[in-house]
Each structure stands twice: as structure tokens, then as C-alpha cells.
């Protein structure tokens, strides 16, 4: 395919959205690719970046063949990120093929991450959507922290909910780690562990802990308040599933003092996996369903009103 890529019209750096989850298989890649398609329908140029080192499949979710150039070329130093952006037949939509021709474990070093993040933020598009693998590993936590929009995906299952809380706790600790001396940070972990083992009477409150203990130089929660973490409940089948997002938000507020913005639920729809099988994203094959509407509403909520464009 001819490499014709629609670039940012605004001239500003792209907004980087990162989707993450505690548990695997909850729909991160589906949500990332669907948010991307919805943004393009709103007139924006989007690059989806497959940064799941456990197995690339953004191309599959977008109904594309794996691209000739991929992240391996960047890791080997042969190409810039911009040079491995691959266009799709969908207007304004491109992707960066993940590692799919590497048979050894892909460990992204902190040095590589330090180079990768600024390059992601200088890609030529309105939005860069980074699709991560599951769990709170270092690469995921760093990319999540660096994002303009941090989006956590959970399914309504207890296994996923439990891992969502673990991911959020890991995110808080990861961001606090840099601001504290090792002994201060280890003391925090010790207290957290005591609470987990139910040795303490009161539930743990990060904000209270930071207030009462010296050594953390940044007010983490103030900055989170300005830009809350977003939550999506994917594969929802009932009102109880929809309400789950509100419960998770209350728990985070009560126990972590973490303001979480619940973006809403995405329906479970058999058309999702059927469309992946047919190699056409469901938002393209069925553009006027409630499912498509749910993604557009989320995008409209996340983008600034001044950025809402008529589709040309």
C-alpha cells in the first residue's frame, strides 16, 4: 500500500491516550482501535501504536495485515517511529505495527522508554493511542504515567475487577516512588502490606498517609485531580455491569483518595468477534449501533469542545 498518511491539521503535538488493564483479554485492543476509529469519524487523524510486547494484534483488530515495518525496526535503531507508521484504508487512521517477528522476550529498557515516550508524543497526528499489554509491569506503568489520557479497561468479572484495583495501586505507588527516598517509599509499602493483611483497624488512605508522613515531595493527588484516570467497563451485559463503574469510582475515592472518571460501559456484542473474524472492525461494518454510539460519546467527552470537527 502506498504510504499516504494524514497528519495533524492543528500543528500541535498529538494527545497521547494510553489504554491499560490489570487483567488480560478484557478488551484493551478492541477499545483502543474503536476509540481510534471514532476519533477519525470526528475528523481527527489517529495513529494506534501496538505496544503489547506479549503479542501484537492491533493490526488484527483493525482488519489489517501485519505491516512490513514494525517496532523491531525502531528498537534496532534502523528507523524512527514516524518512519514505521503504516496507513490503513480507513481515512485518517494509521498504526504502528507491534513486535510480531521477534521470538525472544521483548524487554523494553528504561533508556529505550526515555527515547520512546518523546517520540510517541511527536508523531504527526492529532491523537496517538497506545495499546498496552495486561498488568502493572514497568513499561506499562511508565507509558501510563506519561499519557495525556490514562484509560483503564475492566470487564465486569470479579477477576478483572480485582486486578483493576491492583493496577491502580501499582500506578499510585509507581508515581510516588520517584518522589520519595527509598526508605520512605519502603515504609509506605510496609504500611500498605499491613493494611492488606488486615493488621490495621482503619482502611488505608494514600492522601492521609502522605499528609502524615514526610518525604514525598509531590502532591500526587493534586495532579491526579486535575487529570483523573478514566475507567471503561467493557463487555457489559446488564444494568448491574454498567453500575459497576460507579462502584469502582466510589471505592477509589474512599480508599485511595483517587478521583476516577467513569467514562461508561461498552456493551458486550457478538458482532465484535464476528467482525474481527471477517477482518472489518465492527464500527466500520455496523456504524450506527448503540455500541458505536458509546464510543463516540466517550470520545466527545474526552476531546475539548473546540476540537470537535465536522467530518470532511
Nearer to ligand ATP, 45 or 57 (CB): 57
- Closest approach, Cβ 283 to ligand ATP, in A, equals 11
Nearer to ligand ATP, 21 or 38 (CB): 21
Count of residues engaged in binding Mg ion, rule: CB under 5 A: 2
Residue 144 CA, distance from chain mean position: 7
Alpha carbons 261 and 249: distance in angstroms, whole number:
7
Site for ligand ATP in 154-213 (CB under 6 A): none
- Closest approach, Cβ 55 to Mg ion, in A, equals 8
Nearer to ligand ATP, 270 or 306 (CB): 270
> Crossing angle, helix 182-196 and helix 158-177, to 10 degrees?
160
Site pattern 214..243 for ligand ATP (x: CB under 6 A): --------------------xx--------
> Crossing angle, helix 110-121 and helix 138-146, to 10 degrees?
30
Nearer to ligand ATP, 14 or 22 (CB): 22
Nearer to ligand ATP, 184 or 284 (CB): 284
Alpha carbons 26 and 46: distance in angstroms, whole number:
23
Closest CA to 131 of 18, 295, 239, 276: 18
Nearer to Mg ion, 29 or 154 (CB): 29
Q: What is the DSSP string of 92-149?
A: TEEEE----S--S--PPPHHHHHHHHHHHHTSSSSEEEEEE-SS--HHHHHHHHH-SE
Residue 27 CA, distance from chain mean position: 11
- Closest approach, Cβ 302 to ligand ATP, in A, equals 19
Does 34 engage in binding with ligand ATP (CB under 6 A)?
no
- Closest approach, Cβ 151 to ligand ATP, in A, equals 12
Distances (CA, A) of 165 to 121, 157, 284, 291: 28, 13, 33, 26
Does 134 engage in binding with ligand ATP (CB under 6 A)?
yes
Does 52 engage in binding with ligand ATP (CB under 6 A)?
yes
169 binds, among Mg ion, ligand ATP, none (CB under 5 to 8 A by kind): none
272 binds, among Mg ion, ligand ATP, none (CB under 5 to 8 A by kind): ligand ATP
- Closest approach, Cβ 70 to Mg ion, in A, equals 16
- Closest approach, Cβ 236 to ligand ATP, in A, equals 8
Instruction: Let me know: does 252 contact 204? Beta carbons within 8 Å.
Output: no
Strands 85-87, 93-96: pairing kind:
antiparallel
Q: What cell does 154 get?
A: 475492566
- Closest approach, Cβ 100 to ligand ATP, in A, equals 13
Site for Mg ion in 25-54 (CB under 5 A): 28-29
- Closest approach, Cβ 253 to ligand ATP, in A, equals 25
Instruction: Let me know: does 165 contact 51? Beta carbons within 8 Å.
Output: no
Distances (CA, A) of 291 to 46, 103, 232, 238: 20, 36, 13, 14
Does 30 engage in binding with ligand ATP (CB under 6 A)?
yes
Nearer to ligand ATP, 125 or 276 (CB): 276
Residues that bind ligand ATP (CB under 6 A): 21, 24-30, 52, 133-134, 234-235, 266, 268-269, 272-273, 276
Amino acid at each position: 500500500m502506498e504510504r499516504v498518511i494524514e497528519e495533524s491539521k492543528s500543528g500541535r503535538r498529538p494527545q497521547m491516550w494510553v489504554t491499560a488493564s490489570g487483567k488480560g483479554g478484557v478488551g484493551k485492543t478492541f477499545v483502543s482501535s474503536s476509540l481510534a476509529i471514532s476519533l477519525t469519524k470526528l475528523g481527527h487523524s489517529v495513529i494506534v501504536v501496538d505496544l503489547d510486547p506479549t503479542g501484537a494484534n492491533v493490526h488484527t483488530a483493525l482488519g489489517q495485515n501485519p505491516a512490513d515495518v514494525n517496532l523491531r525496526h525502531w528498537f534496532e535503531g534502523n528507523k524512527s517511529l514516524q518512519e514505521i507508521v503504516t496507513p490503513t484504508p480507513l481515512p485518517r487512521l494509521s498504526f504502528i505495527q507491534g513486535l510480531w517477528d521477534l521470538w525472544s522476550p521483548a524487554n523494553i529498557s528504561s533508556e529505550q522508554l526515555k527515547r520512546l515516550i518523546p517520540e510517541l508524543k511527536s508523531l504527526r497526528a492529532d491523537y496517538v493511542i497506545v495499546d498496552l499489554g495486561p498488568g502493572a509491569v514497568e513499561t506499562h506503568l511508565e507509558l501510563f504515567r506519561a499519557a495525556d489520557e490514562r484509560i483503564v479497561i475492566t470487564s465486569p468479572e470479579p477477576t478483572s475487577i480485582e486486578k483493576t484495583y491492583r493496577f491502580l495501586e501499582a500506578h499510585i505507588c509507581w508515581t510516588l516512588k520517584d518522589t520519595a527516598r527509598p526508605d520512605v517509599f519502603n515504609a509506605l509499602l510496609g504500611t500498605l502490606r499491613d493494611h492488606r493483611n488486615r493488621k490495621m483497624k482503619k482502611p488505608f488512605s494514600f492522601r492521609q498517609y502522605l499528609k502524615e508522613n514526610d518525604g514525598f515531595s509531590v502532591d500526587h493527588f493534586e495532579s491526579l485531580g486535575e487529570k483523573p484516570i478514566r475507567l471503561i467497563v467493557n463487555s457489559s451485559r446488564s444494568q448491574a455491569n454498567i453500575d459497576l463503574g460507579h462502584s469502582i469510582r466510589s471505592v477509589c475515592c474512599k480508599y485511595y483518595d483517587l478521583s476516577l472518571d467513569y467514562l461508561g460501559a461498552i456493551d458486550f456484542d457478538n458482532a465484535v468477534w464476528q467482525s474481527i473474524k471477517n477482518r472489518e472492525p465492527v464500527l466500520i461494518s455496523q456504524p450506527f449501533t448503540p455500541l458505536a454510539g458509546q464510543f463516540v460519546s466517550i470520545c466527545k467527552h474526552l476531546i475539548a469542545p473546540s476540537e470537535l470537527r465536522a467530518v470532511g
